[in-house]
Amino acid sequence: MNYFDPESLELAINTVDMKGLGRGKGFKITNKQRVDFSSPVVRIINDRLLNLVSMMMSEGVISQEDIVENLQLDEYMSNDDYTSLSDELDDANEQLDEANSTIDSYQLRFGRMSRLISDALNEDYENLYVDEDDDEDDEDLDDEESKSISFLEFGLDRFIENYQASRDSDEDNGRNSRHQ
């Protein structure tokens, strides 16, 4: 550790070619060159560096303020603007969480409504067969939601059929009573 002084190292990315000097004799550098920043190696180094910085932030070794100061990010955006943007991002995340909660609640109520209709029609909701090829518009829905929608469509059709049959029966009974 006494010899580790990263500040004394040149700020560049270098590659080296090594040649073995024989068993137990070490290696010799035969070619040293700077990496061209268009090299794919730079992307790998960049990704690793960002992962290291994220790890150091999560461990409390460095802070966002350290990063802003050392990278001079405040030249591009003031701390106030950064704080405001960060607050807006936090607000947006809270709204997204609330929206997801609302969607979950909607799906729960939707499922309950489907089950109530199935009970009223004496249908077995749990074993309802849903033709997935029939619902091409519902491909972004999960299985339970797709099943609920299909059942609601089926249930509504059954209610309409029953209503029309009842109305036709009432009309027939009305005609028969007038003719007697």
| CA angle (3 as vertex; 47, 65 as ends), nearest 5 | 45
- Check: CB of residue 150 under 8 Å from CB of residue 123: no
- The token duo for 129 is 């067969």
- Check: CB of residue 67 under 8 Å from CB of residue 73: yes
Tens digits of per-residue pLDDT, 21-61? 999 999 999 988 888 888 888 889 899 999 999 999 899 99
pTM for this model (two decimals)? 0.36
Tens digits of per-residue pLDDT, 124-171? 766 655 555 554 555 555 666 666 677 777 777 777 888 888 888 877
